[in-house]
Amino acid sequence: MPIQDVLTTIQALSPNSSHANIQFLVEDNEIVSLSLQNMGLTAVPPEILTLKFIKHLNLSRNRFTEIPKTLEQLPQLETLLMDQNRLTAVDLNQTPLSQLKELHVAQNQITHISGDFSNFSHLHIFSVRDNALTQLPETLWELPNLKALFIGQNKIPNLSSKIGQLTQLEEFYLHDTPIESLPDSIGQLKNLHTLDLGHNQLLSVPESLGLLTQLTHFLYLSDNQLSELPATLKNLKNIRYLNLTDNQFKKLPEWIGELTNLREVRLYNNQLSTLPDEFGKLIHLRELYLNNNQIRVLPDTIINLHALTHFDLRNNQLIELPNKFEELINLKFLDLRANQLLTLPHSLNKLPKLEKLDLRWVKLMVKPDWFASFEDNGRILYR
């Protein structure tokens, strides 16, 4: 059947034809990639099963209640997306897709996964986030080629110590769960470059986290119960993004200054009263968010952050800014809302790239005479 006839027939099958999202990619006159989203499908149309060269199939946002066994008729299928369907369980033994490299079943109502992952040895990416799982199959930790694992937004109470067996893992997303602790074996994931542990109930993180020296993209620890970090994390010298927001930190360790590749740090919604002098060593830092803390004074070394473009200090207790603030030569956005500043240094007007200065709810004793010229130059001043 010609390609266009196949697509026309498929679209006619959809009760949601006006909202159906059909996309495809053709190579050598064969459909190799097909997306059939939002079509109200409950079974795979037989016309799809004639596409023997298809590698990527997106069946998300439909009404499937199980992974169709008929997909075994697609011998070259490598990527299967079935997010946002009505799946309540996954039976791996009834899913004969051993050639799969990617399996996405996020945002369903899956309560359990049965069967054996050993038949999915080619799997590179597995996403089962945002379901209702309370446990995971032990064979999941035996996948030799897994590079990305998404298991967040489930009800998993703990993480198996066998996680350390996934030595090829590069991305790991374990967020929004009731987990309170992590196994030391997480330090065996030597190829990780992205680690999301946010929105859990972590009271601490293991020292072995410091062994993840390939962690370059980001470390996300937001919204836990953390008040300190192990000193071994100073070994994460390649990390570029660090998020520690919504925790219970009252101070930061001096060794944070050794993470000199950091580009963005988020520390808002903690209990910080100051920053260590060593913070000024983060010379590549571009964005720093310290809002909603209890900071009264910034270290003088803060002016060494010459790459800084975004600096958020709102809702602190600042009584003054450091001298030579004009040395933050790349600063574009400065938020000082709701602090206790009574005066502002004239150096703020000398920041060559400053585009926006927010001073709302700051009760200055004297209005600086440079306010008018600041606004006349087309810059934004909120006060």
DSSP 247: S
Residue 9 has pLDDT above 80, yes or no: no
| 377 pLDDT higher than 90 | no
Q: Which of 248, 246, 201 is nearest to 229 (CA)?
A: 248
Q: How confident is the model at residue 14 (pLDDT cuts 50, 70, 90)?
A: low
Q: Which of 349, 383, 341 is nearest to 365 (CA)?
A: 341
Q: 99-119, pLDDT tens digit by residue?
A: 999 999 999 999 999 998 988
Q: Is the pLDDT of residue 144 over 90?
A: yes
Domain boundaries, the chain: 1-125
End-to-end CA distance of the chain: 68
Cα 133 to Cα 107, 108, 114, 146, 277: the distances in Å are 11, 10, 11, 20, 45
- pLDDT (tens digit, 9 = 90+) per residue, 225-272? 999 999 999 999 999 999 999 999 999 999 999 999 999 999 999 999
Share of the chain above pLDDT 70, in %: 95
What pLDDT does residue 378 have? Answer: 85
34-88 pLDDT, tens digit per residue, is: 999 999 999 998 889 998 999 999 999 999 999 999 999 999 999 999 999 999 9
Give the integer Cα–Cα distance in Å for 129 and 152.
5
Which residues, at least 6 apart from 132, have a Cβ–Cβ distance to it below 8 Å? Answer: 109, 110, 111, 154, 155
Q: Of 350, 304, 354, 306, nearest to 334 (Cα)?
A: 354
The arrangement of secondary structure in 1-125, i.e. its CATH architecture, is: Alpha-Beta Horseshoe (3.80)
| pLDDT of 16 higher than 60 | no
